[in-house]
A = this chain, B = another copy of it.
Amino acid sequence: MSIAWDDIRTVLMLVRHRSLAGAADALGVNYTTVARRIRRAEEALGHPLFERLPDGYRPTAAAHLIAQHADQMEDTEHSMMRQLQGIETTLSGVLTLTAPQLLIANFLAPVIEQFTNMHPNIELRILATNTLLDLTRLEADLAIRISRTPGDTLKGLRLLRQENASFASQEIADRIASDPTAMIDWIVYDAYPDLPKGIDAGFPNNRVRYRFDDMVAMLGAAQAGLGVVRMPMFLGRAATGLALVPVLSPQPYADIWVVGHPDVWPSQKLRAFRSILVKYCKTHKQDFVA
């Protein structure tokens, strides 16, 4: 009566995903393999672990017990992998980075290029995403985040302070300049559906015209001349066809941080990347404020 560690992990995944296919995906194997490993585990333990119902596998109490412990084992594994990364000294292998897509497209691209040129043996993997990835699980080694604080248990470095302002197409900008009292149409972010605070008293007529849940889309809408958007300074400047409009005076916005798990932080690869990143940010500070 004993069980292979790989099979423990398979039970965990099946409990977690509730279908052979889901578990198989998570494990990177075919779902038939999952079915067979489960059967093997059940035989090894002399204990049924799942009920085979017409709509899927349903874990028994024993399976839940296993999953609970396997969860702990997985935590330990992740901690191990992070620490292995942390003691890594060679400048080769993969380095995974995550950052907001707009920051990559409009600011970080040169950093990435410079890094890959300087360290051709490091394969840089970029995850452009808006959701926060879990650095504890090593979904990424480093994350560049826009937030007021670095993560809870993460180690972080403040790269830049930045400011917000209002931007619109050149045409709209001209119109506002010529008649500040005309109605100004705003494009706002879904999560903050009201008019931005701090609109200058010289522009009395404002209304929310569009609400988007995606900043890329808002940028496009502004470029197409649909209205005024509040956005970070660097973005308004970098995006073609947009002009600063003085409706909203520049105001501080969430800082830009680079964060990582303390375990992997000391790795040479990460040091190398941070050094280039920090240098680049220092020389481009002025792009982020008025």
Contacts and interface: CB of A to CB of B under 8 A. Distances in A.
A84 B62 contact: yes
Contacts of A94: 1
A62 B86 CA distance: 10
B45 A84 contact: yes
A5 interface: yes
Contacts of A46: 92-93
A206 interface: no
A69 B80 contact: yes
Interface stretch (A71-79, A166-174, A272-280): A71-79
Contact of A73 (B1, B2, B5, B92): B5
A47 B5 contact: no
Given A65-B80, A80-B69, A88 B4 contact: no
Nearest to A60: B87
A6 interface: yes
Binding site of A, secondary structure by majority: helix, strand, loop or mixed? helix
Chain A interface size, under 10 / 10 to 19 / 20 to 34 / 35 or more: 20 to 34
A230 interface: no
A65 B45 contact: no
A61 interface: yes
A5 B1 contact: no
Interface string A1-33: 111111011000000000000000000000000
A47 B1 contact: no
Contacts of A72: 76
A82 to B, nearest CB: 10
A5 B5 contact: yes
A5 B77 contact: yes
A108 interface: no
A174 to B, nearest CB: 54
A84 B47 contact: yes
Contacts of A83: 65, 69
A30 B76 CA distance: 28
A111 interface: no
A76 B76 contact: yes
Contacts of A2: 81
Contacts of A45: 84
Interface in A23-66: 45-47, 61-62, 65-66
Contacts of A81: 1-3
Interface of A: 1-6, 8-9, 45-47, 61-62, 65-66, 69-70, 72-73, 76-77, 79-81, 83-84, 87-88, 92-94
Given A46-B93, A62-B84, A66-B84, 11 more contacts: A1-B94, A2-B81, A3-B81, A5-B77, A8-B80, A46-B92, A62-B87, A65-B84, A70-B80, A72-B76, A76-B76
